[in-house]
Amino acid sequence: MIGLGSIGGVVAGCLRHADRHDIIACARRALDRLTLERPEGTVTVSLRTLTDPAEAAPVDWVLLCTKAHEAASTAPWLARLCGPATRIAVLQNGVDHAARVAPFAAGPSVVPAIVYYNGERLAPDRVRLRHVAEHDLAVPDDAAGREFAALLGGTPLRVLPSPDFTTLMWRKLLINAVANPLTALARQRQAVLRREDMRALCLAVLAEAVAVARAEGASLAADEAERTLATLLTYPPEAGTSMYFDCLAGRPLEIEALTGAIVAAGARHAIPTPLNRALLTLLSAISEAAGASLP
């Protein structure tokens, strides 16, 4: 496991509690125990943590759970953890999982994974899992994807192998295209999206993103924007988003992998994306300032 934030912490806790595999967490700080709050009951598990890539050795699977913009920082870990037979499951936002990791892990096969569950890091050693969809993760319906699903067997995380992963990937990006930027800019949890004016803004942002997604090969419904917003409004109003939490904490934002991916694809297909471009500009300025203030 590389990364013990809201996504990685949940997966690490679930896998350790299932106790079917040897789990090694690779993180900035040593952690010997992790508490996972989940609908099935709160559990506390022991955890083996490495903080120095030099201590790592090749493994069967790497679960990469950092933010998308932090992929380059994982290169020292990937160099030590990956052997010829290693598989890397990339549990990150965006649509270019394999291309994002390939420069830092030549050779191993990459399994892109869509994360649906809502994870929240409550403290360095405590995370919370909320199930917000029928499935918690989705992967391509191929041999590697099915092996990843089997890897999580015995945990409460439900994995969907899908024959149309491209469509699912863009559908998840549609959710992120409104939930992340708007909660971050408003500095409010998802309850803010229930305002009538915010719902109208969501639909306008989504209309641009849906046009881009179709051009990229996603098979979407005629009313995909409305369906996306309806799905989003089923999420608990108290749920936050990763960009909201990063914005409050003064950390750089994962904006390029989300809104940036929509704007870039729109440019490739000559599809106007003025609202998404405006969100990208605003959040890029916030992210740049956050990065400059870090020690």
Q: Which of 56, 172, 181, 280 is catalytic?
A: 172
Q: Which of 94, 31, 23 is nearest to 11 (CA)?
A: 23
The string of pLDDT tens digits covering residues 218-273 is 999 999 999 999 999 999 999 999 899 999 999 999 999 999 999 999 999 999 99
Residue 103: its pLDDT value, please? Answer: 84
Beta bridge partners of 159: 137
Verify whether residue 172 is a known catalytic residue.
Answer: yes
Would you kindly state where each structural domain of the chain is located, as residue ranges?
6-162, 165-293
Homologous superfamily, domain 165-293:
N-(1-d-carboxylethyl)-l-norvaline Dehydrogenase; domain 2 (1.10.1040.10)
Contact in structure between 264 and 173 (CB atoms under 8 Å): no
Question: Who's near 3: CB < 8 A, 6+ residues apart?
Answer: 26, 27, 64, 65, 66, 70, 74
Above 70 in pLDDT, residue 13? Answer: yes
CATH of 6-162, one of 3.20.20.70, 3.40.50.2300, 3.40.50.720, 3.40.50.1820: 3.40.50.720
Beta bridge partners of 113: 91
Residue 107: its pLDDT value, please? Answer: 67
Contact in structure between 108 and 88 (CB atoms under 8 Å): yes
Distance CA 260, CA 280 (A): 6
Beta bridge partners of 118: 130
CB atoms < 10 A from the CB of 76, how many? 14
What is the value of pTM for the model shown?
0.87
Question: Who's near 150: CB < 8 A, 6+ residues apart?
Answer: none
The string of pLDDT tens digits covering residues 87-142 is 999 999 889 888 888 888 766 789 999 999 999 999 999 999 999 889 999 999 99
**Mean pLDDT to the nearest integer, 190-202:** 97
